[in-house]
């Protein structure tokens, strides 16, 4: 690991000087923060972070290394990483590679020795900002100008760039660590699920297989006709990066699928389904990124602690009450976290019930999807 200087510069003129760890490089993106204590590898490899520089608020990162089993995709998707301290030592029996080496292989820069508390407080006040991390350029003013030239996240279609290029079958389930992780189907797959890939996480696919589903993953621009030709029992709408509103083709295709086949959406899939049903979306000030967000399930009256990663939300008042039941709300800011159709087999949530590494309060939603396919 290197010890040379690195700079994080923000579009509003503020900058932070720290230490370069790993790759000497320069990166650009929207700067967001994640409050999770563990799960940094899952964050690195979540395609929903494409186009974003991530600040981790836990003060020490990298101390348990990385391993291939915990990847949420084939490679890391964050643009850059900001931390208070990056551990020189990786100490865990599952670790196969130091986290800095893992990111360096993909030329992703890390800046450490940053006052992440001050930086996060600044973003909470100002909102998410465009930024640059560089260990190549030492002039902060030049980096600030570069930050101001980065496209804003609003209006940006990133899902198309991270989606699979061709259709494939997913067959790997969850590696059982407890009886609750065992595959629940005694025979062969009971249901065929076609999953739209807007930036899908591997653990979503593992959970579907665990529930006894045969899973076919299709690119984001796959037509409704081609999906129906696969004879699915249900269609899944995945998470992904960027603004949902530019996804005109997926929105049109999903609108055609409503009422034809059971639908279940997560994160960006929630937003796209909302737009397909006539709703509107808007951008949050600094987004929801973490593993401790309380969500009220209005159907049961219970509070779920949830894993979240999104910068846009569906506006609840834009959905027709006669057609849509609002089922979940965030207790921190009252934003909409889930809804279902009153007349068609379709529902979605804004958060991540597959939650790797956790929490697992919302895994029941996969059971609800299976039950919907059984009764449709």
CATH of the domain at 131: 3.50.30.20
The answer on 317 and 196 residing in a single domain is: yes
Q: Do 96 and 198 lie in a common domain?
A: no
pLDDT at 190 over 90: no
Residues 139 and 262 in one domain: no
> Element (H or E) spanning 126, and its range?
helix 116-126
Residue 16, Cβ neighbours under 10 Å: how many? 21
Q: Catalytic: 352? A: yes
Q: Is the pLDDT of residue 178 over 50?
A: no
pLDDT classification of 358: cutoffs 50, 70, 90: confident
Which is catalytic among the residues 267, 289, 293, 304?
267
Compute the average pLDDT of residues 170-188.
61
**Residue 128 predicted with pLDDT over 70:** yes
**135 and 187 share a domain?**
no
Residue 172 · residue 205 · CB < 8 Å: yes
pLDDT at residue 130 in the model = 98
Mean pLDDT, range 167-195, rounded to an integer: 72
354 noted as active-site residue: yes
Say if 74 falls within a structural domain.
Answer: yes
Looking at the structure, tell me whether residues 143 and 166 fall in a common domain.
no
Considering the domain architecture, whether residues 89 and 163 belong to the same structural domain is answered as no
Per the listing, tokens 């006539």 go with 278
Q: Which domain holds residue 116?
A: 5-148
Q: Would you state the pLDDT for residue 188? A: 65
Task: Decide if 74 is catalytic.
Answer: no
**CB of 257 within 8 A of CB of 228?**
yes
Q: Is the pLDDT of residue 172 over 90?
A: no
265 and 362 belong to one structural domain? yes
Domain boundary among 148, 173, 208: 148
Structure-block tokens of residue 115? 């006052």
Which of 123, 148, 173 is the last residue before a domain boundary? 148
Bridge partners of 80, per DSSP, are 53
Three-state DSSP at 73 gives coil
Q: Is the pLDDT of residue 44 over 50?
A: yes
3 state SS of 191: strand
Q: Give a yes or no: residue 78 inside a domain.
A: yes
Can you tell me the mean pLDDT for 2-29?
A: 94
Within a domain: 154:
no
Catalytic position from the list 26, 72, 113, 354: 354
Is the model's pLDDT at 174 over the cut of 90? no
What's the mean per-residue pLDDT of the chain? 94
Query: Does position 175 have pLDDT exceeding 70, yes or no?
Result: no
| Res 124: pLDDT | 97
pLDDT above 50: residue 164:
yes
Q: Please state, in angstroms and as integers, the Cα–Cα distance from residue 137 to each residue in 10, 19, 83, 141, 144, following that order.
A: 14, 13, 19, 10, 11
Number of domains present in the structure of the chain: 2
The neighbour count for residue 113, using CB atoms within 10 Å, is 18
Domain match, 87 and 212 both: no
The answer to whether residue 295 scores a pLDDT higher than 60 is yes
Same domain, 126 and 173: no
Catalytic residue among 270, 293, 328, 352: 352
**Do residues 350 and 207 share a domain?**
yes
Question: What was the pLDDT predicted at 96?
Answer: 95
Q: Examine the domain organization and report whether 78 and 119 are in the same domain.
A: yes
Domain boundary among 129, 148, 167: 148
Domain harbouring 260, CATH code: 3.40.50.880
Region 132-142: mean pLDDT is 97
């Amino acid at each position: 690991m290197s010890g040379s200087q690195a700079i994080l510069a923000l579009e509003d003129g503020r900058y932070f000087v720290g230490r370069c760890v790993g790759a000497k490089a320069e990166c650009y993106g929207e700067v967001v923060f994640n409050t999770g204590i563990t799960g940094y590898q899952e964050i690195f490899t979540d395609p929903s972070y494409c186009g974003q520089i991530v600040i981790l608020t836990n003060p020490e990162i990298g101390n348990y290394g990385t391993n291939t089993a915990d990847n949420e995709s084939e490679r890391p998707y964050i643009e850059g990483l900001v931390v208070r301290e990056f551990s020189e030592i990786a100490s865990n029996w599952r670790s196969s590679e130091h986290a800095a080496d893992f990111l360096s292989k993909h030329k992703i820069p890390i800046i450490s020795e940053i006052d992440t508390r001050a930086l996060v407080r600044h973003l909470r006040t100002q909102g998410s900002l465009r930024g640059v991390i560089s260990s190549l350029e030492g002039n902060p003013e030049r980096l600030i100008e570069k930050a101001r030239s980065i496209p804003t996240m609003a209006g940006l279609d990133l899902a198309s760039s991270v989606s699979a290029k061709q259709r494939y079958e997913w067959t790997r389930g969850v590696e059982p660590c407890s009886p609750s992780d065992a595959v629940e189907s005694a025979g062969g797959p009971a249901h065929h699920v076609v999953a739209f890939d807007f930036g899908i996480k591997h653990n979503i696919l593992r959970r579907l297989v665990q529930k006894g589903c045969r899973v076919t993953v299709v690119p984001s621009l796959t037509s409704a006709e081609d999906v129906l030709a696969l004879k699915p029992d249900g269609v899944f709408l995945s998470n992904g990066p960027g603004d949902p509103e530019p996804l005109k083709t997926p929105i049109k295709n999903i609108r055609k699928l409503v009422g034809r086949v059971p639908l279940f959406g997560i994160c960006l899939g929630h937003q796209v389904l909302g737009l397909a049903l006539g709703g509107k979306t808007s951008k949050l000030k600094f987004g929801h990124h973490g593993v401790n967000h309380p969500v009220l399930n209005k159907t049961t009256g219970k509070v779920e602690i949830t894993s979240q990663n999104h910068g846009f939300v569906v506006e609840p008042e834009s959905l027709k009450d006669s057609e849509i039941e609002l089922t979940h709300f965030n207790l921190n800011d009252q934003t909409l976290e889930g809804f279902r159709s009153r007349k068609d087999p379709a529902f979605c949530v804004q958060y991540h019930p597959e939650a790797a590494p956790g929490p697992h309060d919302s895994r029941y939603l996969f059971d609800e999807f299976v039950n919907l396919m059984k009764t449709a």
